[in-house]
Amino acid sequence: MNTKEYDYPLVSVIIPVYNKEEFLAKSLDSVINQTYKNIEIICVNDCSTDKCPEILEKYAQKDSRIKIINNEVRQRLGITRNIGLENSKGDYILFLDADDFLEKNCLELLTEYTKKYPYIDIVVSQRNHINYKTKRPIKLEYISNSCTDRIIDIYKEIECIDYLPYYAITGILIRRKFLIENSILFKNYKSLEDVEYNNELLIHAKSLIISPHKLYNYVFGIPNSVSSIRYDNISVIGDAIINLEKYKNTTPPEVYDALRIKLYHAIVEFGNEAYCNFRLSYNELKHIYENVLDHSIFSHPKMDYCRVKYERFLKYSPFFYRLISMTIYYTKLYFPKFFSLLVQFKKMLNKKNN
């Protein structure tokens, strides 16, 4: 299908592809059918051994906006995204995973901000989390309206940092020049490559907007996906904490602490999830709590989540802690409304006891 040039700007949608034949067609359809047409679609095939190469070729014949790059050797997700960026021409970049898909008006709504604010560095789309087994989205709260649909300077509005994703970089419109000027690239990690990358985005971004709409559909719970094995490389978040330290003297203390706390939340969340799913041993989790986390900031109000997890960890045996972790994790994942009611009830009890 031949396409004509539409409104500025050109958006490069970068899709790393590795053995996603079950999802790839739906993912590609969601891009080529966007209401916003001025796009290029860069698919980087990372040595897929299934039918992904054939699917890519079929779609490239139908739509001239699709460009296929074939890695000669397996590079994994992060480096594959870098290759896509190197071969892109767009004014803005959007990363899409091959097992996820976009809402039809995703790029139209996100680019509206870039037309209104040509200097904007990042436009963040909210996400639907769709259960792979049930094919239904789980209900998650929207980001506070006070932090959406307007320009945010996170150096001045630190409270909005809490609403920004600390690991997901898909579904985010990023100014390409901003990435190049700040040398922001993915490192060659086996997994969790997006945590440190996202932190770099937040440190360097001069202007940012969060869309009030959920425009990106993230499919979770896929067997053998990167997200299902990401905990094997949880030390990557420790690397991100170390990397953050180099900005300590050039970042306002409040911002530095907020970003560090965000990483602490990430490492505790991933660590507990890995442990309850038998992907992390008790001793590995113990190492995270006792040697990776800086306990001196446990008194910070926003560290309550980490502190409570650590106190529970010290209190229970390995078996009972795993049982508690599994109960909390799966209740929160599959019964979020019930979980929210339990949290509210607990807060009421604590308030009454105090």
What is the greatest pairwise CA distance in the chain?
Answer: 68
CA distances from 67 to 2, 42, 46, 51, 233 (A): 13, 5, 14, 17, 31
Least confidently predicted of 13-17, 88-92, 337-341: 337-341
pLDDT beyond 80 at 334: no
CATH 3.40.50.80 for the 1-226 domain, yes or no = no
- The candidate with the shortest Cα–Cα distance to 261, out of 220, 227, 307, is 307
Q: Work out the pLDDT band at 301, boundaries 50, 70, 90.
A: confident
Strand residue runs (E) in the chain: 11-17, 39-45, 66-70, 92-95, 101-102, 122-131, 137-138, 151-152, 172-175, 208-220
Q: Please report which helix (H) or strand (E) contains residue 203, including its range.
A: helix 193-204
**pTM of the entire predicted model:** 0.85
pLDDT (tens digit per residue) in 133-175: 777 777 666 676 778 889 988 888 888 887 776 657 899 999 9
CA angle at residue 339 from 288 to 297, to 5 degrees?
Answer: 35
**Residue for token pair 């008790």:** 282
Q: Where are the domains of the chain?
A: 1-226, 234-354
Q: Rounded to whole angstroms, how far apart are CA atoms 114 and 329?
A: 38
Burial state string for 259-284 with b = 16 or more CB within 10 A and e = fewer than 16: bbbbbbbbbbbbbbbbbbeebbeeee
Mean pLDDT of the chain: 86
CA distances from 163 to 51, 137, 262 (A): 38, 19, 10
Task: Give me the sign of the Cα torsion angle 319, 327, 131, 68.
Answer: negative
Instruction: State the average pLDDT over residues 7-25.
Output: 92
Res 3 pLDDT > 50: no
State both tokens at 68. 């296929």
